[in-house]
Structure 1
Amino acid sequence: MQQRYIFPDSFGQVDPAMRFPENYAGLKPELGLFLKQLRKKRGLRQKAVAFEVGINRVNLSRMENGHLTPSYETLTKMMSVLEFEWSDVAVQGRAPHGNRRYLSSQLQRMGEELRAGRNAMGMNLRELAEIVGLSSSQLSRIERNLTSYSGVIKVTRVGPRPLPEDEDLDKDGEWRIYEFSHPELVRLARFGRDKLRS
């Protein structure tokens, strides 16, 4: 049996402007069942998840039952609340409307290292959010490479030099070197870097 995927322009219920991260083309048809099972596994009620995501409980129920597909914004908020990845809900390929631009490889590595360190220490996003003074949603976006605009990431500029394709230049043509400014994030990212290398 051939598997069916939900692409951004396949149905009226899917956000036609939805763009997927690089290398992802559409949502898996079992998205609703996955969301329901994960929510129950986490011991959360629909009302609590809907509140955290910023939608009403009825719409969450419709999503879990496959009658409504979440927008990109709603889905990324769900990723933060329920702690899952694109690979859990999307299929690989090229999206019909193009893919979202990702951050520089340096920021991507920082996010991956932070997540690896946090997970290795057995810390959830809420616990870390309380320590560093950000929302768990903002931390999740940093870990998933969806934002670089945060009070916990600082930029250090250095002079112009040859630049690999995947790095960013600022308006003056200089490298952007990023670092975490909060000591706990520095510690967790360093720990995560060691874990990823081993």
Structure 2
Amino acid sequence: TQKRREYNSYRLNSQGIYGAGTVPDITGRFEVGSICGKTYTKHDDLKCTKDAECENNRVCHEGVCADMRYVISGKLCNRGTKPVSTNLPASFFFYDKENDTRGDRICTSYTKTPVGIGKCDKVGCEVTEDVFKSLVGKDVLMITNEDEHGHRSTDECNYNNNNDKITINACAEKIEIVN
């Protein structure tokens, strides 16, 4: 008897565990109290009581020398039915109330871990001290799934829920960024 030849047919391929028709839905929101602030990264166990005891432009934070960064952040969520891989962008802009448009881009952050179904991660990016000081009293816009060139990186089911805007009243002394 002649054996039937097997071949790969895309029509017979399985759709995987999520199946056809599943799609992510990326949303972005600011969280009051952690929109802008300073983050600290401890690099050594050098104990300190004041900044002058630290080297390499480090500051004394919680009794240990650390690098300090100024950041702006928001919460990026996946409300869809399919996970999203790493490198999902979130861009931050100054917001022009008079013209109801985004202004100059502040920065763009990318997720470092996948965002699962129904999961959220805090994303943020570093800004200069001048930009950090200028944020208070300004309106800021966050757009998820948009990179620094205005391009989307992921297809999703609703592109109209990716934005959030807020007037920044104050920046926090310390905030945590996950991604």
TM-score when normalising by structure 1: 0.22
Larger-Rg structure: 2
Structure (1 or 2) with the greater helix fraction? 1
